[in-house]
């Protein structure tokens, strides 16, 4: 049977986080996440309720965040991107937690059609992506859902992007890097919810550790 992806949103914008900040990108946001980060900015993507399924057009044209989703095949997704006339050549697969499902058919089809792929993931599920897919791991420590960061995800990561608000988050990150023996992967600190204190802590810690700052540019610009 052809795999269908449960999609909460599909839109074109500027990548606002991490190494690709500033890059025009098409975002595919998958529904569903059990990790349950208390400060998650996309809580509407957590629940997968069958009664929340909507048509592809209703999903594409929604004007406010909602937990509705539409089931699309890879072919449907490519057709939608073409029909919308999007110009971006970079596709960000996010969620929710997109790594809960097999993303290889999606990556392969997108790459065949000339797109580059990027995955945004918590690293708590085995990654099923193409070899060329850029993997952004945002490791989650002690979240309510009880999921643990996988060694395979930490090792596969092309960048590690860590949301921070407290010194504890910095200590958690250092412990993770040591535990998984990560030395060369570029690390980004991302202040949680643009809070002033979180941003000051992120700047200080980036300078101390030679990490980079990621400030969720889209939120400062008021774009999606
Ligand atoms: C919404 S998550 C979806 C992908 C995946 N579940 C993950 O956590 O990486 C996308 C990115 O937003 C980050 N994020 C979520 N809520 C945030 C917040 N309030 N402030 C800063 N970053 C946040 C996540 O850590 C992750 O890097
Ligand atoms: N512009 C923009 N950049 C992003 N980078 C990661 C995002 C995400 O929600 O995964 C995101 C998002 O929601 N919007
Ligand atoms: S893993 Fe990602 S989507 Fe899930 S709760 Fe945490 S930040 Fe939100
Ligand atoms: Mg976001």
Q: Which tens digits make up the pLDDT trace of 194-214?
A: 999 999 999 999 999 999 999
Pull the structure tokens for residue 30.
């998958």
Helices assigned H by DSSP within 85-213: 104-112, 151-156, 167-179, 196-209
146 exposed, middle or buried (CB, 10 Å; 0-12, 13-18, 19+)? exposed
| Ligand 1 binding pocket mutation candidate from 138, 165, 176 (most atoms within 8 A of CB) | 138
| Ligand 2 binding pocket mutation candidate from 22, 27, 93, 193 (most atoms within 8 A of CB) | 27
Known binding site: residues? 14-16, 29, 33, 37, 39-42, 94, 96, 138-140
User: Domain-by-domain residue ranges, the chain?
Assistant: 4-163
102-127 average pLDDT score: 98
Q: How far is the CA of 111 from the centre of ligand 3 (A)?
A: 26
Residue 111 has pLDDT above 90, yes or no: yes
CB-facing half-sphere around the CA of 97: CA atoms within 13 A: 24
Q: Tell me the C-alpha distance between 185 and 138, whole Å.
A: 13
For residue 96, whether the previous peptide bond is cis, meaning omega lies within 30 degrees of 0, is yes
- pTM across the whole model: 0.99
Q: How confident is the model at residue 1 (pLDDT cuts 50, 70, 90)?
A: confident
Question: What's the pLDDT score for residue 138?
Answer: 98
Of 63, 68, 49, nearest in space to 7 by CA: 68
Q: What is the pLDDT of residues 144-166, one digit of tens each?
A: 999 999 999 999 999 999 999 99
Q: How far is the CA of 1 from the centre of ligand 2 (A)?
A: 31
Alpha-carbon distances of 139 from 32, 53, 76, 207, 219, rounded to whole Å: 17, 29, 31, 21, 21
Residues in contact with ligand 2 (CB, 6 Å cut-off): 13-17, 42, 94, 120, 218, 224
Ligand closest to 43 (CA) is 3
Phi, psi for residue 161 in degrees, rounded to 5: -120, 115
The residue whose C-alpha atom lies closest to atom 3 belonging to ligand 1 is: 95
Contact 164, 137 (CB under 8 A): no
Q: Tell me the fold of 4-163.
A: TIM Barrel (3.20.20)
Mean pLDDT of the chain: 98
Ligand closest to 218 (CA) is 2
Residue 177: partners with Cβ closer than 8 Å, 6 or more residues away: 160, 183, 187
Q: What is the pLDDT of residues 47-85, one digit of tens each?
A: 999 999 999 999 999 999 999 999 999 999 999 999 999
Q: Tell me the C-alpha distance between 79 and 186, whole Å.
A: 35
Cβ of residue 97 lying under 6 Å from some atom of ligand 3: yes
């Amino acid at each position: 049977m052809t795999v269908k992806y449960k999609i909460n949103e599909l839109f074109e914008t500027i990548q606002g986080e991490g190494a690709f900040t500033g890059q025009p990108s098409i975002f595919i946001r998958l529904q569903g996440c059990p990790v349950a980060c208390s400060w998650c900015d996309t809580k509407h993507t957590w629940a997968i309720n069958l009664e929340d399924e909507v048509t592809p057009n209703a999903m594409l044209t929604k004007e406010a965040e909602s937990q509705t989703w539409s089931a699309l095949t890879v072919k449907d997704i490519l057709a939608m991107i073409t029909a919308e006339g999007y110009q971006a050549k970079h596709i960000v697969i996010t969620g929710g937690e997109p790594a809960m499902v097999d993303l290889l058919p999606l990556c392969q089809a997108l790459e065949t059609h000339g797109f580059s792929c990027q995955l945004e993931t918590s690293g708590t599920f085995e990654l099923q992506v193409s070899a060329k897919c850029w993997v952004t791991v945002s490791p989650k420590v002690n979240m309510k859902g009880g999921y643990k960061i996988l060694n395979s995800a930490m090792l596969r990561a092309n960048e590690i992007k860590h949301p921070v608000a407290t010194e504890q988050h910095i200590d958690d990150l250092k412990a993770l890097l040591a535990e998984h023996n990560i030395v060369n992967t570029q690390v980004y600190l991302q202040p949680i919810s643009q809070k002033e204190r979180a941003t000051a802590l992120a700047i200080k810690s980036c300078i101390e550790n030679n990490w980079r700052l990621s400030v969720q540019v889209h939120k400062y610009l008021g774009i999606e």
